[in-house]
Structure 1
């Protein structure tokens, strides 16, 4: 699941960036803090520009604090590492709207070169005090222009939305996006498991009940790069995530993932300081990987971590393997990171089977997300 996107409002006119995507951090005419803003530049975030990077980080922190209290907290180390550690198969462009040296808003644009090359994904945020000046509109326009330049025909974003289940979420970019031609394409729910509140006896009971239906399977636990005899099966299951999970009208198409892709992912996580804890179930007779789940522990965070993919091969469903995977990985997390407190996950609201498994092992509803999508072609 991609991270929730931030809120962004309306109106004014930026100085366009050059088509080659490069621009110096120019001085702007009016002082942004002194009087109403009428001009700003959209520039690439240069990792060597310390002042720009610090202001870019502060802008993200301010949006998170204002709009998304109560959801998984923003991680500054992840943002910093992403500036200098490239994805092996996704180009991530980072742009900032800058006025008088201060970052007013930011844009992250994600362009996959491995598969789904028709699709661009983005995230946008505008500082609360800089809204209603056209910053969000300009950044969104820039995202669409860059996507079109790259030949993308669809553009989408995940956005946390206000809901009675998350009363502290105030950011609401949905009406803004709909006004710009976007449509709601997938409805999802965010859940969190507070590990200390989950009773061992409840998990023990589920564990025993599930294994009673899973004869002929065995468990494998590992972290980082999967063992050689499992890696092809792991890659196959990751690829199935693109087609097996409920997608609504979101234009996500089949993924091309191989063992080499998985190795590159784990190399990138190592460089970014992300620990990937994984559990798999293997069909003993065939040796095939029947199911997989993963939890990502981010650098510098010992309280909040993120659930990654969970999937069971359709050929092996009906044996309670999903419950076994969730319990096994949850307990392995606690053994490796005993001070960890929260695990966050998201599911399409229509994915009732996985939601039931998550709730059985201790997850509770914390908020809602929507995929907003627009056709460019």
Structure 2
């Protein structure tokens, strides 16, 4: 019963014991909801807590203890800039402690901080379809605003010939790690803006408005977090402008894993296979520089059938379906009632 549960603000990194308990709950939840997916290593979790991924904003945490046992936690990222009205919230309950109202109690505890930071919306992007998390969110009045396909390229299981993709006529490829070269910075920022055409469903999230200054700020944030950012672009020969791009990040603490970020092609240059070309070239470059790389993960909106197909063509396989859920904070029925 939640009457025996104490919920309070929590710093997962404050003590070794507290961090270990936090990681145990996360891993147990992952095993239940994402079977077959490699567990998040403790070192990677510690790094993410210390330095959240670029664009996530500051974070706050709450923990639910039953006696001395940590049984659940909530994490909120307070997004910034275009998304400063969103509190991005993840509630994780140990499978053995579910169906006791603990997740709802955690969400209720988070509400005052969401309102204090002038958030109008709470969204969650880590709900796995057809699990207890989806049913819980529905019961609390969240609605699904986006369906997301999670795919992974497992290097050992893919025929390398899939990455033999020729460069379309009229284009050439460039690549860099870290900062974009000054001579393509402006057109690279424009090309990054092509991601705005990727569907976001009914989520309140908005893609960044990319400018040269914002690109440099993003690159600096990635460096500060220790991320190794690699970019491959297709340059239009006639104009010298960037026509398409793909970005993958990795971290030395997890050399076996790559994180696919944006892939985008400017509308006027679509239909030439540039997306597949830059992504295939990226895989070859990564494997040449990171021989321990075993997996690249990516997420794509379910409506984006074209990119899902491109991913499949270069060796990505579907893992599971994720849901983004949303609830306006103006009238949250059921959140403020005592929890049974």
TM-score, length basis structure 1: 0.79
Equivalent residue runs for 1:19-30 within 5 Å: none
Q: Secondary structure at the match of 2:205?
A: coil
Structure 2: runs of 5 or more not aligned? 331-340
> Cα gap change, 1:252/1:240 in structure 2, threshold over 3 Å: closer, same or farther?
farther
> Cα gap change, 1:99/1:43 in structure 2, threshold over 3 Å: closer, same or farther?
farther
Matched, 1:192 2:127: no
Matched, 1:112 2:79: yes
Residues 142-201 of structure 1: per-residue CA shift (max 9 Å, x gap): 3343222222222111134256xxxxxxx4311111110100111121111122333233
- Among 220, 223, 228, the alignment partner of 2:174 is 220
Matched, 1:85 2:38: no
> Cα gap change, 1:237/1:156 in structure 2, threshold over 3 Å: closer, same or farther?
farther
Matched, 1:55 2:3: no
Q: Distance in 2 between matches of 1:42 and 1:174?
A: 25
For the aligned residue pairs, the C-alpha RMSD in angstroms reads 2.3
Aligned to 1:32: none
Equivalent residue runs for 1:158-173 within 5 Å: 158-162=125-129, 171-173=131-133
Equivalent residue runs for 1:265-276 within 5 Å: 265-276=218-229
Aligned to 2:337: none
Aligned to 1:22: none
Aligned to 2:277: 324
Residues 115-156 of structure 1: per-residue CA shift (max 9 Å, x gap): 211222111111222223322111222334322222222211
> Cα gap change, 1:52/1:352 in structure 2, threshold over 3 Å: closer, same or farther?
same
Q: Distance in 1 between matches of 2:62 and 2:172?
A: 47
- Among 256, 263, 275, the alignment partner of 1:310 is 263
Equivalent residue runs for 1:1-377 within 5 Å: 12=2, 38-45=4-11, 47-71=13-37, 73-85=39-51, 90-162=57-129, 171-204=131-164, 207-208=165-166, 211=167, 214-241=168-195, 243-377=196-330
> Cα gap change, 1:313/1:75 in structure 2, threshold over 3 Å: closer, same or farther?
farther
Q: Distance in 1 between matches of 2:212 and 2:69?
A: 43
Q: Distance in 2 between matches of 1:339 and 1:331?
A: 13
Q: Secondary structure at the match of 1:54?
A: helix
Q: How many residue pairs align between the two structures?
A: 329
CA positional deviation for 1:289: 1.6
CA positional deviation for 1:88: 6.7
TM-score, length basis structure 2: 0.87
Indicate conservation of the 8 Å contact 1:291/1:310, yes or no: yes
> Cα gap change, 1:91/1:257 in structure 2, threshold over 3 Å: closer, same or farther?
farther
Structure 1: runs of 5 or more not aligned? 1-10, 14-37, 164-170
Indicate conservation of the 8 Å contact 1:154/1:375, yes or no: yes
